[in-house]
Chains A and B, each alone.
Chain A
Amino acid sequence: MSDVAWIDSVLRSARPQAVGALVRYFRSLDQAEEAFQEACLRALKNWPINGPPRDPTAWLLMVGRNAGLDETRRRSKSTSLPADDQISDLGDTEADIAERLDNSHYRDDVLRLLFICCHPDLPAVQQIALALRIVSGLSVKEIARAFLVGESAMEQRITRAKSRVARADVPFETPGAIERAERLAAVAAMIYLVFNEGYSASGGDQHVRVPLCDEAIRLARLLLGLFASEPEIMGLTALLLLQHARTAARLDSDDEIIVLEDQDRRQWDRDMIAEGLALIEKAHRHRRPGPYQLQAAIAAVHARAPQAAATAWSEIDQLYGELERMQPSPVVTLNRAVAVSKVHGPAAALAMIEPLAEPLGGYFHFFGLRGGLLMQLGRANEARTAFDQAIALAHTPAEAAHIRRHLDRLIAESRPA
């Protein structure tokens, strides 16, 4: 690995901690970003000559802090506005900062940084974009590409999101236990969103966007590294790993969706599966089940089955039942219906999803499953109607093509032999 590539990966991995601490220090996202940027430039100039520092994150933090302070002083001179109060305020924290360099102290900084990005006023896409920009350090161009929008449109969105969170009042004191738990839950949900956007894209013509999934896993691992005893964060990380392990098998060479039961399981990533299963086992010891752990457990049942036919569907049915109790949602019931159809047959599953027609009237997967069940029951005309509705609601060409294959099969079967 070349020096530049190596420095690049160091800067990337140090970024959440360093920017998080700089935000605490400057109490401004923009200032923290500028300061980190400056520190990175100096690292690129300095490290190849003097060799890497022992603790790159601490180096970046110190250099960034000093660069930011210089900038503040320079500005205060050129605008002749007395920024004394600001500077003395920074001085107070100076002694503190050096002592706060170990991992346990970074954790609230990183959590705060992530938490700032998932401001409830921001639509999901903006939360994701902001986190990718600020925490992961992806360029606007990379994020724009991930969302398949123009660079200037994405730039605008991020700027708008930033000014929104700048006005929000996020306290900078070390959070109390309850507040920390609330932040953690919000951040976990945001990481899940990042993953979902990659796992099954909400638009564009790419059905799976691997970089978003990779980034979500990196963020989840980062969070778990900081909060090592949180079973739900273990569950979240396990869930993402187990889902992402199937990526190589999910689309064929024409980018068409391959459903779970038809996937070549040899293409599943065994390392990710093993890590996911290990995390579930660890989480289980805490005896504090939660929605992420349950979803991970469901993914684990699939991961453990050597072939589709060996899937323990009754276990999946039972796990979805627990999830329904814990977090009632029509989407959970819909997913449970798949397991029910395998255990008790398509008629039972169809009866189960009929009441969902109203809440899920605009949901692609509802009509996809309904069509599939009707097809199994030999009700071809009704199945066709459901599949037509599904196609109208498809988000990506791959989703539409998948349903179209079912329709083709129905048409072929209805032809007299």
Chain B
Amino acid sequence: MLYAFLCCHDEAIPNSWTKAEDEAVLTKRAKVTDKLAARGKLGPAVRLMPRTAATTVRMGRDPVVLDGPFAETKEALLGFYLIDCDSLEEAIDIAKDIGREEKVVFEIRPVKLYLPQGKAS
């Protein structure tokens, strides 16, 4: 089963890291994700730009285009991983491993449809 690992956090915190602090977190995570990639379990991973760069399109009779993110929540979606896990149990273990020593929140969501190249396989 493919699982999406949605990384959620108060955006102001990573925003206030220095470049060196930011890189330290990425390096630490890469130690885990590189191993997953070697085992062929890692799908695409995405880091999103800050929510200030977001635009929201709300559909209706006249679609409304709004600046900013869809939801004004404290914990924002900062990015996600797609990882092939044997079970939810394993997915939870992997999340704990990736997020070790961080305060990030992972929302783990089973993937229903996966179109790596934009077309159904």
Contact = CB atoms under 8 A, between A and B. Distances in A.
Nearest to B11: A225
A13 B52 contact: no
A282 interface: yes
Given A6-B103, A13-B15, A225 B10 contact: no
B51 interface: yes
B53 A278 contact: yes
A102 B24 CA distance: 31
Bin chain B's interface residue count: 20 to 34
Contacts of A102: 72
Contact of A274 (B11, B17, B49): B49
Given A55-B74, A228-B68, A237 B52 contact: yes
Bin chain A's interface residue count: 20 to 34
Interface in A225-242: 225, 228-229, 234, 237
B67 A282 contact: yes
Nearest to B73: A103
A380 interface: no
A14 B74 CA distance: 11
A285 B12 CA distance: 26
Given A13-B16, A229-B68, A279 B74 contact: no
A279 B53 contact: yes
A307 interface: no
Nearest to A136: B16
A13 B12 contact: yes
A325 to B, nearest CB: 27
Contacts of A282: 53, 55, 67
Interface in B7-36: 10-13, 15-18, 21, 24-25
B18 A52 contact: no
B59 interface: no
15 contacts: A1-B102, A1-B103, A6-B103, A9-B16, A52-B103, A104-B72, A218-B15, A221-B15, A221-B52, A225-B12, A225-B50, A229-B66, A275-B50, A278-B53, A279-B52
Interface of B: 10-13, 15-18, 21, 24-25, 49-53, 55, 65-68, 72, 74, 101-103
